[in-house]
Structure 1
């Protein structure tokens, strides 16, 4: 029986090659797009799941309640992990790490800058990494040890066995012994590193910080007992911190589980409000929609061919076929077509994966060896086959044999209504997707065009070293004398990042209940000049010794602190006193999507680490870089010349949004393309059904334009209905999406007008091309049998 269904299905499909190819193209593109999206979604949803203790790993986080806002802080004090390790049986293990940082590693003639972490005890007890050489128990037992990833070991040692070999850490002027090699962390890991080193608790500076319960610069992680009461664990963490730091009145500590690190990493006013999960959900919906659009094509084209299949149904029923058998026959056709489309789509995905991986910056692959892949594939085939074949199977099997065999079967307006609804649905979704992508693009451009408060053009940033700090004066002098550079300064952080936050200082007249979070940066002379920061009041640093007790504050600080005449005011951090000498404009150093924090700029030329310089506009950048490199090679020969342009670094803040925008653009384009395929096929069958009518109208004097309008207006009416439904729905969805941004655009009606015209023109083009052939045909051909 099944064999007969398959044989009959194949005969029907092969006899109607045009019908099969149109549907095959639509379904193949739809399934390919769905597979690509699902690969991306799977990668996002499986972040860190390779960790053995995935469900029990937590990061310790603090909500710091400043009056102007609640700041969620991932930075903890260094000794916290040691105390939590012994604090409660519910905490199995606790460890501390630095944030990721770069070191210059030197082996023989090879010098490479690699990123890594310094980690505390129990790091390998909590986190699971694949050891290629060495063991977790002894890898970091020696303070002079270093653990490398496989790729880092290959880059530094080539094909040599690196274990027990020595690496020179240039910045720290010490040697480290390689004790283990790890497999590279997976792409969907929260941790990215090339090396790991242990804390040296015998080092005097580390010993001092282990007694410091105020300075927060480290990440603390805990592994809880399975099924532990998290509220109790949070209470333990708060108790431990407050016992050692009673003055910490503004902080509430809590555990943030690993399962939420990647997808739910956004906090607003101390509340976890989401993150990447929003885009994951959005793309799951997009995948479903694209597949639905492809299925709708099949439904429409199958029902449009109903007149051709009606006699077949009538004969089958007359010969004793029941409705169930007919339904199964039509389902077998849809399943066979979907199966072929799936095979084609696998080829398409394999072809496109390298480009798609480059687009999304991942290493996605089809896991043919995993049972999950085949189960998922089977589910896609069955679901798509059922969706695509359900309406045609039920509709075609419902024909009454008496009518169709008498030749009185007529496709009425009532039978065409479902097809019209499906066409409206297709174009409604396409209009929604296209409009949404334009609005997302406009929002990104709006934020990019936001005034940053500094001039990023030709602004170069170079990480400082001990040698550049020692030789800074002569480096600056030679750069300025070369006329390649117009200004040079140095600061404690790049202009694109904030590395220091604190509570606001004290001043006379400060309200008792005011506790404002501020950002801070230490700078040298010519900071505002080099960065192009506007000075609103007062004056800049002059280089006099008195400047060490002077600060600049930004406009946001003036507003947050409620200061009327800030210049000349005294501000105090404990025993340290500073005088405000000037007010600068606001500078966007952190997220361009959020308001600028109050900022204090200190004159601390010997506590800096980033050199910034502005290249002269009239000098070609390539020539300027050659000249600048020569100066740095002269005074900093041990380090390679490495730099970043400020505008490129600022652009990194838009990576997620631009990625989502590009992906959405591609799949919105695919959606409208699939719609056009279906519309083209539907128009072709409509023209075929009305071929004789068109011939009669031409004989009676109808022009080509009148024939085009006759066929086209039916479809254009459907596109207009789709437009009317899609516009308010899109506006509502995108309005709520924009509310998550402090700075956002206002949705313009022109966006919808442009999209409406575009979709209308596409529909006209598709329908027109299919109608034009019939309109140009000699009417004798269609009327010769009449």
Structure 2
């Protein structure tokens, strides 16, 4: 019986070659899409899951409410780790981390001329007890005991010393700006794995950072990441209740609250609104998982539609089998076997498609995915394929197997209204989803265009920055003066913040009329002279810093948001206190976006302190960019022997903030295209069958004088109605989805009616082209020939 069914299935494929090819293309494309997204989703869920104590590993965050607006900060007080470890018995370990992204790359050397650039961060003693980075050399509890210790990665050890074994006990010089220190290698770790959100080359004792930045000792400041692991059996809720008001006991009149959140969940669930977790990257995971399911469903719909549409052709086969004794279950198994076999063939083609497009998919997603044929992967593929076969074949199998043999053999079987309604409903589902995806793609790209072209309050183009180090740091004023003489360099200054993100906040600003019950956090940016001019910022009132005024190091400049938050009228010439030091306001700079468009512009202050700047900013001429950069490199390496010139384009750094959105846009475009193609395949097949079944009618109409255009309109009219219904259903759904996605941005694009009109017209044009081809082809057939059939 199996052999017989198998041969029957193959004959069916051969006899219905066109529908077989359409179904095969649809199913293989749907399966390829599903498997690719499954690979991506699986990889997303692996991030930060490698830590041995992940179920007890937490990050301490701050919740702050100002003027009824609650926000969450991922940084907090630098001294908090020590306090947690000493005063809270449920805390097993706690560590403070100054994140590597805040610094330029460090220079590491072994005392000779050779200097390598590496990513480093300052961490407190229990860092390797909190996190499970594998130590190849050294003890977790001992490697950071010494304040002059440095723990380096395997790759760094091999670059500096040739091997891991040679590194331990050796002295390394590290360079950061004008600071140069010796450190002893006390341990070597294997390096963060690919699925770690933290990627760094070495760590240095947090004690050095306390010395470099005494502000970290102030409980009124934040700017440090704090992580802790709780003891077995400790309650997170009880711990959060204890630390909630810890800051209030250390800082007067503060509205900052602490809470702990699972570190392993932050990658996927790290988005907060109103002080509460509301999602994050998990939204993208859900979105693309749903898209994968829908695209596979669309392929299954094609199979259902074409199978039921051709049911009359297989009716006699069913009638004869039933007449000779085959019961319904036998027929159901045969037709389900047919769909499962087709899905299996589709899987083979899907694997070929994945092999071809996986490199491009990795490029778009920024991952290194591979189709490993392990047991779980093979089981997943088999499961998806079988489910796809059963889903796509279940309705046709049940529909075909119910035919009455007496009615079938008498030739009285015809398409029922319910069958036609089901087929039309399935087409509506396909095109509704296509319209939703088209609208989504347009809105994502409109938002990305806004992010890329909105006035930021400064000019990011033709602006580069690089770290201040070596002689350039020791003689900063001379360096910037000489750099300005390089042809093509228009302006130069230095800063502690590259204006992409928040780095250092304080609530230590006081002024006359301040409401002590509403403390305000300010972003603190240390700058050199000419910074505002170099960045292309504009002053709302007052002036910027100038060497023409000898006492500007005691002055301060705020942004508009700060002045509004402080409720100051005519702020220029008024005095404020910054950490107890009197400063005069000399100007107010127009608001500029130093954080992403997900957030409103927050209060910020500038103060002159070249010694605390980290980056040199240079605006260059745009017509000969590469030549100017080449000249800067030559000057830099001559002025700063032993150091390499590594620069970053501010525009590129800005675009990195929205890499995820661009990925969504690009992937959505690909998936929308796939959905449209699959929809068109199904529509093409149905149109072909419909026109074939009406071929005699078409011939008669032509004989009685109908024109070709009127016949084409006749054949496309029913499909047009179906697509219009799909559009009516899709537009309100797409509006709700688009509005929900845009709510995450503080600044969002407008969604005009034209977006929906364009999507509707595109769907109609696609359907007309798909159906019109078959209609025109049928209309041109000789009516004499069709009347004989």
**Alignment partner, residue 123 of structure 2:** 119
Q: More displaced, 110-119 or 657-666?
A: 110-119
Q: Give per-residue Cα distances to partners, 1:225-284, cap 9 Å, x unaligned.
A: 3442112222443576566x2537322111111232111112223222221111111111
Q: Indicate yes or no: 2:641 matched with 1:634.
A: no
Distance 2:618 2:442 in 1: 37
The structure-2 alpha-carbon separation of the partners of 1:151 and 1:755, relative to structure 1 and needing over 3 Å to count, comes to farther
Partner residue in 1 for 2:356? 351
Shift of residue 99, structure 1, vs aligned partner: 0.8
1:57 corresponds to:
57
Shift of 1:699: 2.9
Shift of 1:157: 5.7
**How far off is 1:54 after superposition?**
1.4
Range 206-215 or range 550-559, more displaced: 206-215
Aligned-residue offset at 1:467: 2.0
Q: Does 1:748 align with 2:755?
A: no
Partner of 1:474: 478
User: 2:597–2:746: 8 Å Cα contact kept in structure 1?
Assistant: no
2:83 corresponds to: 83
Mapping of residues 193-212 of structure 1, within 5 Å: 193-199=200-206, 205=211
Q: Is the 8 A contact 2:597 2:745 kept in 1?
A: no
Q: Which residue number in structure 2 is paired with residue 192 of structure 1?
A: 199
Q: Among residues 262, 268, 275, which one is paired with 2:273 in the alignment?
A: 268
Within the candidate set 654, 658, 673, 2:677 is matched to 673
- Residue 339 of structure 2 aligns to a residue in which SS? helix
Out of 190, 199, 224, the residue aligned to residue 218 of structure 1 is 224
- Whole-angstrom distance in 1 between the partners of 2:213 and 2:512: 37
In 2: Cα distance, 1:574 partner to 1:360 partner:
45
The answer for the alignment partner of 2:38 in structure 1 is: 38
Alignment-derived partner of residue 691 in structure 1 = 695
**What does residue 779 of structure 1 align with?**
783
Equivalents in 2 of 1:702, 1:288: separation in Å? 44
Answer yes or no: is 1:643 the counterpart of 2:650.
no
> 1:158 Cα deviation (Å)?
6.3
SS class of match (2:228): strand
Check conservation: 2:175, 2:469, Cα contact below 8 A: no
Alignment map for 1:653-668 (pairs within 5 Å)? 653-668=657-672
- Matches of 2:162 and 2:290 in 1, distance apart? 46
Does the aligned pair in 1 maintain the 2:450–2:749 contact within 8 Å? yes
Question: 1:580 is paired with a residue of what secondary structure?
Answer: strand
State whether residues 314 and 404 of structure 1, in contact with CA within 8 Å, keep that contact through their aligned partners in structure 2.
yes
The alpha carbon displacement at 1:352 in A equals 1.5
Q: How does 1:447-462 map to 2 (within 5 A)?
A: 447-462=451-466
1:449-598 matched pairs, under 5 angstroms:
449-503=453-507, 505-543=509-547, 544-598=549-603
Alignment check: 8 A CA contact 1:503 1:516 kept: yes
In structure 2, the CA distance between the partners of 1:514 and 1:196, relative to structure 1 (3 Å rule), is closer
Residue correspondence of structure 1 range 226-305 to structure 2 within 5 A: 226-238=232-244, 245-247=250-252, 249-305=254-310
Residue segments in structure 2 that go unaligned for 5+ positions in a row: none
Specify which of 697, 710, 713 is matched with residue 709 of structure 1.
Answer: 713
2:96 paired residue number = 96
| C-alpha distance in structure 1 between counterparts of 2:267 and 2:669, whole Å | 24
For 2:182 and 2:559, the matched residues in 1 are separated by 44
Deviates more, 1:330-339 or 1:372-381: 372-381
Change in Cα spacing, 1:76 to 1:509, as seen in structure 2 (3 Å) is: closer
Equivalent residue runs for 1:706-745 within 5 Å: 706-745=710-749
> In the TM superposition, what is the alpha-carbon distance from 1:484 to its structure 2 partner?
1.9
| 2:319/2:408 contact within 8 Å kept | yes
| Offset of residue 214 of structure 1 | 4.5
Quick one: structure 1 residues 551 and 174, their matched pair in 2 at CA, closer, same or farther if it must change by over 3 Å? closer
Moved more, 628-637 or 207-216: 207-216
Whether the aligned pair in 2 keeps the contact of 1:68 and 1:560 (CA below 8 Å) is no
Q: Point out the more displaced range, 166-175 or 490-499.
A: 166-175
Q: Deviations over 1:11-31 (max 9, x none)?
A: 322332222111010000001
Q: What displacement does 1:137 show? A: 5.6
Give the superposition deviation at 1:736: 2.5
Aligned to 2:25: 25
Q: What stretches of structure 1 of length at least 5 have no aligned partner?
A: none
- 8 A contact 2:84–2:94 mirrored in 1: yes
Q: Deviations over 1:713-752 (max 9, x none)?
A: 1211111111111111111221222222222223211111
* Closer/same/farther in 2, CA of residues 227 and 688 from structure 1, 3 Å limit: farther
More off after superposition, 397-406 vs 157-166:
157-166
Q: 1:689 to 1:571 in 2, by over 3 A?
A: same
Counterparts of 2:784 and 2:673 in 1: how far apart (Å)? 41
- The alpha-carbon deviation at position 215 of structure 1 amounts to 4.2
Structure-2 change in CA distance of 1:168 and 1:207 (3 Å): closer
Counterpart contact for 1:62–1:254, Cα < 8 Å: yes
Contact 2:255/2:519 (8 A) holds in 1:
no
Indicate the larger mover: 663-672 or 597-606.
Answer: 597-606
Seen in structure 2, the aligned counterparts of structure 1 residues 737 and 161 have a Cα distance that, compared at 3 Å, is: same
Which residue matches 2:403?
A: 399
Aligned mates of 1:490, 1:566 — CA distance in 2: 26
Distance 1:238 1:709, change over 3 A: closer
Structure 1 residues 86 and 400: CA distance shift in structure 2, 3 A: same
Native 8 Å contact 2:221 2:505 kept in 1 = no
Instruction: Give the match for residue 109 of structure 2.
Output: 106
| Stretch deviating more after TM superposition (21-30 or 567-576) | 567-576
| CA positional deviation for 1:87 | 3.3
User: Is the 8 Å Cα contact of residues 447 and 593 (structure 1) preserved in structure 2?
Assistant: no
3-state secondary structure, aligned to 1:221: strand
Q: Distance in 2 between matches of 1:181 and 1:513?
A: 48
Matches of 1:236 and 1:28, distance apart in 2:
55
> What is the CA distance between 1:667 and its match in structure 2?
0.5
Give SS of 2:612's match.
coil
Instruction: Evaluate the alpha carbon distance shift between residue 180 and residue 506 of structure 1 in structure 2; reply closer, same or farther with a 3 A threshold.
Output: closer
**Residue 545 of structure 1 aligns to a residue in which SS?**
coil
Judge conservation of contact 1:475–1:631 (CA < 8 Å) in 2: no
TM-score of the superposition, structure 2-length normalised?
Answer: 0.93
Counterparts of 2:338 and 2:218, CA distance in 1 = 73
Between the aligned partners of 1:65 and 1:765, the Cα distance in structure 2 is 57
RMSD: 2.6
Secondary structure of residue in 1 paired with 2:414: coil
CA distance in 1, matches of 2:141, 2:519: 46
Q: 2-side partners of 1:731 and 1:685: how far apart?
A: 35
Match of 2:345 in 1: 340
Alpha-carbon distance between aligned partners in 1 of 2:214 and 2:614, rounded to the nearest angstrom: 22
SS of residue paired to 1:320: coil
Aligned length: 781
Match status 1:606 vs 2:611? yes
Contact 1:67 1:516 in 2 (8 A): no
Relative distance call for 1:200 and 1:491 in structure 2 (3 A) is closer
Q: TM-score, normalised by structure 1?
A: 0.93
How many angstroms does 1:153 deviate by? 4.6
Contact 1:66 1:517 in 2 (8 A): no
